[in-house]
Amino acid sequence: MVMYIMGIYVNDAIFGIKIYNFNYDESINILFEEKYDEIMSHEQMRKVYLFYTELNNKNDICFQYYTEYSTTYGKGIYFN
């Protein structure tokens, strides 16, 4: 699967994930963050899922993820 995000072609390989919410003063409160040099394994993804299932209030949770991208300038890791 290939997605097109703001001029960057992204495949479905995930290299990391961040789970966060916002404090009352609008600052970011990072609850979980993992980054890897290679594609996340199913065991690593399971770790994230188990963390998420333990959260009490899932309504205000935000996700961002690291994925591989390619452009006319080359390849790299993109934080979405």
DSSP 3-state of 16: strand
Whether the Cβ atoms of residue 19 and residue 62 lie closer than 8 Å to each other: yes
Instruction: Supply the pLDDT for residue 7.
Output: 44
Q: Which structural domain range is residue 17 located in?
A: 2-79
Query: What distance in Å separates the CA atoms of residue 22 and residue 46, rounded to the nearest whole number?
Result: 24
Token duo for residue 36? 């890897």
The predicted model scores a pTM of 0.67
Scan for tokens 């390989």, then name that residue: 13
Number of domains composing the chain: 1
pLDDT per residue rounded down to tens, the chain (80 residues): 444 444 444 556 778 888 899 988 889 999 999 888 888 888 988 898 899 999 888 888 888 888 776 555 555 555 55
Instruction: Supply the pLDDT for residue 58.
Output: 85
